[in-house]
Chain A
Amino acid sequence: MSIPNVAITPEVVAEHGLSEDEYQVLLKIMGREPNITELGIFSVMWSEHCSYKSSKRWLKTLPTEGPCVIQGPGENAGVIDIGDGLAAIFKIESHNHPSFIEPYQGAATGVGGILRDVFTMGARPIANLNALRFGSPDHPKTRHLVHGVVAGIGGYGNCVGVPTVAGEVNFHPAYNGNILVNAMTVGLARTDRIFYSAAAGPGNAVVYVGAKTGRDGIHGATMASAEFSEDSEEKRPTVQVGDPFTEKLLIEACLELMQKDCIIAIQDMGAAGLTSSSVEMAGKGGLGIELDLDKVPVRETGMTAYEIMLSESQERMLMIIRPESEAEAKAVFDKWDLDFAVIGTVTETGRIVLKKDGAVQADIPVGPLVTEAPEYDRPHVPSPKRPVIAAADVPAPDSLTGPLARLLECPDMASRRWIWEQYDHLVMGDTMIRPGADSGVVRVQDTDRGLALTVDCTPRYCLADPETGGAHAVVETWRNITAVGGRPLAVTNNLNFGNPQKPEIMGQIVGAVAGMGAACRALDYPVVSGNVSLYNETEGQAILPTPVIGGVGLIDDVHKLCTPALKAAGETLVAIGQPADRTDGWLGASLYLREIEGREEGAPPPLDLAAERRTGDLVRGLIRDGRVSACHDVGDGGLLVAVAEMALAARGLGATLEVPTAALAHAWCFGEDQGRYVVATSDAGGVLAAAAAAGVPAMTVGAVTADGDLTVGAGDLISVETLRRRHEAWLPDYMAGGA
């Protein structure tokens, strides 16, 4: 077969998502008109998805270094030192567009892709997390999408045997046409056995391992770089199909081979498949690669060079190995019944040369393909500041327990048990805190240490004020790790936004990244990896700005973990970070305002990063010293919701929340002032004294009771079991078609 004779017309260039200017750069690099395969390669490498062309300028402003950082952004995943010769390797990645089109496979392959990013670097994956956003529960597609995405995540993660230990889910009409599926994987490796992707050593073999290449997923990266329109479902063929069984074999085979001294470099084939993996490996090594595409294992006949290079078939990896290691490496993959094919060699030419059927199908200089990728400073306008809503201007409800029950059963707060019971969250035997707490915790096998893991973002804050919202997402993970007793170490981020060519959307991105950077700097909490998903728009309607943060913290002793569950009647509830003289609470952009008053308005609660750090450090110390028996951060729904969740996490206990007489009760109970935790303790005096010594406000707010009721103020009470029924009912009822 010769090179397909496709004329490179302006229409063909446009169909490949390249602008006229970008095409001119391409022509300059090539010095001639490209053929269709070459155009396809430029197209995917310069897609938003692969090149980060709209966001790179801003991502560079994030702090990426710190004492624990071994590898920051730019590799397959971030790597941090967790001591004792071990590294945690992690990253979060979106699979938004495919999941909307084909939810089961889209979500499943999202999990598969992020797992590969992590084990590529030599880590055994030990935990998965996910952050999901769906449209309004009333939207006709939502139930189907929730069903498919959850089944897809479970179907893949359960089969590969990596526990899914934490996650978050929001529902909002802004996601009706663009759901978000962000999947995170955390792995463990020895610090002296970390594998990178830079090709080295001209003459070394380029080896393809894993599953065979088919025609699925061609142009997935380009699809993820454009808005959706009514005909997007026609793009179903661009969604890949996952095979978790092959992935499991690939994990075991790669980790087994990594015990030997064969691999020079390794890279998974993710978005843009063989193209991005080979180009990135060559680019990072400053070398060239020559591939013989006739040697690529294929599962369909008659595939063209274009199709082979752009296929996004799953469960494939590219490795550079020493030629003398070939037999040893092949034996490992034979054992696991996986394809192993030497498909090319590393060269000194600095060019990627593809041959098929005896002819050169593409010949591109790697350097310019990578370094001259477009990078834009897109116009941006800041989001208009919203007015601060005075708590006194929000009508008071008749009772406090009524709105409490409504909040606990609203779609954003209702129990996610229906979801996480479909995820194997226990496999590997090291899950120490299961889903539903502030963070999931997995033990580092055969040690007393653990990793605290969480993913967080509050999109309504981000819409209200992208900078505060971006900072908040970082702080929320930091608090959630602190609340279980962990030391927050580093984050990965997943920036989900609309069309960056719209200045107001670009303004959201710029704002969120600025807030994120400020929070990470203030907390010494660097960003070590991440992913950007733009063009989450349908028919001009953008999603809420959703910069998701995945946080990783270290637990020094898993025997000293803390959970939100109340433990013993008679203990005192202390709100740490709560000033005793505060008589109202921040209701702007709160869950209460949205769910009870039907208003999505107002500025979000401000953050004081220095106070956050003081407060969190205090709480972590109290947990470490065993001075508190339960801890929960105060988030959505405020203080009363936090206390209710602590009672719900226990069995047979109740609690009281004493509202100061001078307080505006509903604002005090439901306000979302930041930087607060509720702890249960038998030594309230000691806890208050420790807070005072640390310069952190704190006050006694209630007690743990044996009566099984939640009592707010004087006599406004509801049984915890009633709350539990309502909290647990919404999601299963909704999924059964009832809600």
Chain B
Amino acid sequence: MRTAIIVFPGSNRERDMVMALRRSFGSDPVMVWHKDTELPDVDLIVVPGGFSYGDYLRAGAMGAHSPVMRTVKERADKGVPVLGVCNGFQILTEAGLLPGALMRNAGLKFVCKNVHLRVETAQSVFTSGYADGQTIAVPVAHNDGNYFADDTTLDRLEDRGLVAFRYVDETGSESDAANPNGSRRNIAGIFNDTKTVLGLMPHPEDAIDPLHGGTDGRGLFDGLARALA
């Protein structure tokens, strides 16, 4: 199995992602520079966190127009799983691979802390390592994680089971207090129609080692490795 991480100017969580992929997949990902138009044959493409192009214009807006993203879209269309975390999620929405947009946090401040997520469905290559409804603890670290989409889009996402993760409290209940950024309907991560593209704001890659303070992020990568094997 091979994985690839797309590196943009300003990506900064690619190292974290390398550690997570290495641990679960047993091999190092291929690092693909954003100007490359060639993407090796891989089983998983990851768009990592960071500040691609300094978040200038809009978070993810310029990254979405990098040469490599055309290829990423083609692969996604063929069903190759694509995971976008944080800035990666922003890029995937800007690139039209996922619906909606990530706006400035409702609190108007960058927020870095642990949050709880409810796994809305374990029926996907990304979430098969979890149980339906399981509550996991992982950190967030972002300035623009406030997920927005119109009601029609949100209803559609819900009806089709395309909400992957929601912000909840430690007992698994949705509340405003558990929502770190004002995301509509507490949405932390969503799938595309075929559930082969996942975007989420939190960082499961920073919760894979007991020394991180928790290992709840492992489920995502371990599940992916098993599902893609």
Contacts and interface: CB of A to CB of B under 8 A. Distances in A.
Interface string A418-433: 0011111111110110
Contacts of A424: 110, 112, 141
Interface string B139-162: 101010000000000000000000
B212 A159 contact: no
B203 A426 contact: yes
A151 interface: yes
B78 interface: no
Contact of B54 (A244, A434, A561): A244
B203 A158 contact: no
Given A248-B51, A422-B110, A429-B15, A159 B213 contact: no
Contacts of B139: 426
Given A337-B9, A443-B211, A425 B112 contact: yes
Interface in B81-118: 109-113
Given A154-B110, A161-B50, A421-B112, A429 B205 contact: yes
Contact of B10 (A151, A245, A422): A245
Interface SS, B side:
mixed
Contacts of B16: 427-429
Interface SS, A side:
mixed
A245 B51 contact: yes
A425 B206 CA distance: 11
Most buried by B among A243, A336, A422, A426: A426
A249 interface: yes
A46 B142 CA distance: 43
A428 B15 CA distance: 6
Contacts, number: 88
Interface string B153-186: 0000000000000000000000000000000000
Contacts of B43: none
B218 interface: no
A248 B52 CA distance: 10
B110 A158 contact: yes
B12 interface: yes
A628 interface: no
Contact of A422 (B12, B51, B111, B206): B111
A447 to B, nearest CB: 12
Contact of A245 (B56, B109, B112): B56
A558 interface: yes
A558 B111 contact: no
A566 to B, nearest CB: 16
A443 B19 CA distance: 13
Given A161-B50, A427-B141, A429-B212, A422 B9 contact: no
A434 B206 CA distance: 13
Given A424-B141, A426-B206, A249 B9 contact: yes
Interface residues of A, number: 35
A309 to B, nearest CB: 28
Contact of B12 (A161, A243, A423, A425): A161
B109 A151 contact: yes
Nearest to A735: B109
Interface string B49-83: 11101111000000000000000000000000000
A349 interface: no
Given A159-B10, A161-B12, A429-B212, A422 B203 contact: no
A248 B54 CA distance: 9
Nearest to B51: A159
A295 interface: no
A431 B112 CA distance: 13
A559 interface: yes
A357 to B, nearest CB: 34
Contact of B143 (A158, A336, A445): A158
A82 interface: no
A573 interface: no
A210 B95 CA distance: 29
Contacts of A639: none
A670 B174 CA distance: 42
Contact of A158 (B53, B141, B211): B141
A192 B53 CA distance: 33
A427 B13 contact: yes
B116 to A, nearest CB: 14
A218 interface: no
B52 to A, nearest CB: 9
B12 A245 contact: no
B200 to A, nearest CB: 16
Interface in A321-349: 335-337
B51 A244 contact: yes
Nearest to B49: A427
Interface in A239-266: 243-246, 248-249, 252
B56 A423 contact: no
B57 to A, nearest CB: 12
Contact of B211 (A246, A248, A558): A558
Interface string A443-476: 1010000000000000000000000000000000
Nearest to A124: B15
A723 interface: no
A125 to B, nearest CB: 11
A266 to B, nearest CB: 21
B112 A248 contact: no
Contacts of A423: 110, 112
A421 B140 CA distance: 10
Contacts of A160: 12
Given A158-B141, A432-B211, A445 B15 contact: yes
Contact of A427 (B12, B53, B212): B12
Interface string B1-35: 00000000110110110011000000000000100
Contacts of B53: 245
Most buried by A among B112, B139, B206, B213: B112
A252 to B, nearest CB: 8
By Cβ-Cβ distance, the 8 closest A-B pairs, closest first, are A161-B12, A245-B54, A429-B16, A159-B51, A424-B141, A422-B110, A424-B112, A426-B206
30 contacts: A151-B110, A158-B141, A158-B143, A159-B10, A159-B12, A159-B54, A161-B12, A161-B13, A161-B50, A161-B51, A244-B54, A245-B9, A245-B56, A246-B54, A248-B10, A249-B10, A420-B112, A423-B112, A424-B112, A426-B203, A426-B212, A427-B12, A427-B13, A427-B141, A427-B206, A429-B15, A429-B205, A432-B211, A434-B213, A558-B211
Interface of A: 151, 154-155, 158-161, 243-246, 248-249, 252, 335-337, 420-429, 431-432, 434, 443, 445, 558-559, 561
Given A159-B51, A428-B15, 15 more contacts: A161-B50, A245-B9, A245-B10, A248-B12, A421-B112, A422-B109, A422-B110, A424-B141, A426-B112, A426-B212, A427-B12, A427-B206, A429-B16, A429-B212, A431-B212
